[in-house]
Structure 1
Amino acid sequence: MRAILFDLDGTLFDTSPDFIFVLNLLRRQERLPPLPDEEIRNMVTNGSKALVKLGFEKEEGDPGFDGLLQRLHDLYRTHLSDRTIPFPGIEALLNQLAYKGIPWGIVTNKPMVFTFELMKAFAHLPAPETVICPDHVKRSKPDPEPLLLACRQIGCPPSEAIYIGDHQRDITAGQKAGMATIACRYGYIDASESPANWGADHLVNSAEEIWSLLKKHYLVLEDKYNL
């Protein structure tokens, strides 16, 4: 394998604490009680519109929906790195990839304005070769377009790349792109979801398992590159 691509929220970074904070802050501004942390956490992977639906029982197009969405975005941009941290094992994994000279990138459905602000807050981590957001493509995941763009930017055939994510759309996009896929059980997965049914090539229970899995199954040139 020549490149490793990651989803962002729920795969590389645990961004849920900041989403929990800002959604409940917005509810407080609307004189509503806070929602349970876990209820919000499981919805983070579905994006900010889903959080507004959850927090205010409104559907897109309902009166007031767009205003609440904009206020949520404004609050999130202010607080997006206050409580967010890499999942345990991610920093060590990225350092390993950098040390071994293995290109890696991010392919996310998170808007560019938030993604790049978040990456600035973690500038001490090894830098990705590419970061693909919905702003860069016509069709987001589960369409393979963003993954294929990432491969072109890295200069790697999709068949020689791996995509790692915590949602079925990640695995679907990776499969459509012709990549190997790894599903992360530790991400934002609703109790009704079963990652074992997503069809991923591999499942991991923690980010700490990813490097060992890569070495065992994919880094076949280990001796040549002293991996």
Structure 2
Amino acid sequence: MKPELTPSAVLFDLDGTLIDTAPDFVRVLNRMRTAYGLAELPVPYIRCMVSNGARGMVRVGFGLEPDDHGYQQKHTEFLDLYEQSMTIDTCLFEGMDSLLRNLEQRAIPWGIVTNKPVRFAAPVVAALGLTERCGTLICPDHVSQRKPHPEPMFLACKEVNVRPQTAIYVGDHKRDIDAGINAGMTTIAVRYGYIEKPEEADLWGSHYTVDSVSELAKLLQ
């Protein structure tokens, strides 16, 4: 039986769940490829890898893994370029602002738990006017172990003063769902995020799965 959705708090993954950062990732990666004499890649090909951050971008853009020669240089280059232009086209997913305002009107705190380093996450959240609205922003910098370990979830729940068992976590990657379940939270997988094969979300073991922000909003009503 699925748990009832009467949350004391709602926590979100950042990229691909709360906000659409793909346009800035795509632009930076294709700018790098052009500089190296390579053709630009199609947006959908890059988009599905955005949840994997700079590592995913270097993999999809240059076929390099962390142990490969040249990986670290391109990883650093991507991050430096991204930091210079990471708030140009990034935005909340359509309908997300209304969803957040509905939570706020009902006095349900919401927050962000992300594997995106605070160096990048905090400025993006600030640029979107969310810093004062969200109850917490937990990044890998704040914990010793990142998702799928439950430590970030426990810290976020502590900061918004709720028990994990009464909170919801929403994410677009298996590690998000694993982190929420490991913390004893109710989990919602979103298929509108950066998923190469959306049908795979059905295999993650989340309590609920939605295809759109509007469907998520209805579920959280």
Question: What's the TM-score once normalised by structure 2's chain length?
Answer: 0.93
Residue 22 of structure 1 is matched in structure 2 by 28
Q: 2:38 aligns with which of 32, 36, 47?
A: 32
Equivalent in 156, 167, 178 of residue 161 of structure 1: 167
1:1-227, aligned counterparts within 5 Å? 1-123=7-129, 127-191=133-197, 194-215=200-221
For residue 189 of structure 1, give the secondary structure of its aligned residue in structure 2.
coil
RMSD: 1.4
Structure 2 distance, partners of 1:124, 1:76, is 20
C-alpha separation in 1, matches of 2:74 and 2:131: 33
Query: Equivalents in 2 of 1:26, 1:185: separation in Å?
Result: 29
Match of 1:223 in 2: none
The amino acid that maps onto 1:200 is S
Shift of 1:124: 6.1
Identity among equivalent pairs (%): 47
CA displacement at 1:32 relative to structure 2: 0.9
CA–CA distance in structure 2, aligned partners of residues 63 and 115 of structure 1: 28
2:166–2:185 contact (8 Å) kept in structure 1: yes
Taking structure 1 as the reference length, what is the TM-score of the superposition?
A: 0.91
Work out the CA distance in 2 between the residues paired with 1:193 and 1:64.
34
Q: Does the 8 Å CA contact 1:112/1:134 hold for their aligned counterparts?
A: yes
| Alpha-carbon separation, structure 1, partners of 2:62 and 2:203 | 31
Distance 1:25 1:82 in 2: 14
Measured after TM superposition, the shift of residue 62 of structure 1 is: 2.4
Distance 2:89 2:13 in 1: 19
Q: Contact between 2:191 and 2:198, CA under 8 Å: does it hold in 1?
A: no
> Would the aligned equivalents of 1:134 and 1:140 in 2 still touch at CA under 8 Å?
yes
Helix, strand or coil at the partner of 2:170: strand
Aligned partner letter, 1:64: G
Cα 1:172–1:41 change in 2 (3 A) is: same
Range that drifts further, 23-32 or 183-192: 183-192
Shift of 1:193: 5.2
Unaligned runs of 5+ residues in structure 2 are 1-6
Please give the secondary structure, in 2, of the residue aligned with 1:47. Answer: helix
State the Cα deviation string for residues 90-125 of structure 1 (Å, max 9, x = none): 010111111221101000011110000101111168
Q: Is the 2:17–2:172 Cα contact (8 Å) retained in structure 1?
A: yes
Find the aligned partners of 1:83 and 1:98 in 2 and give their Cα distance: 25
Q: Unaligned 5+ residue runs, structure 1? A: 216-227
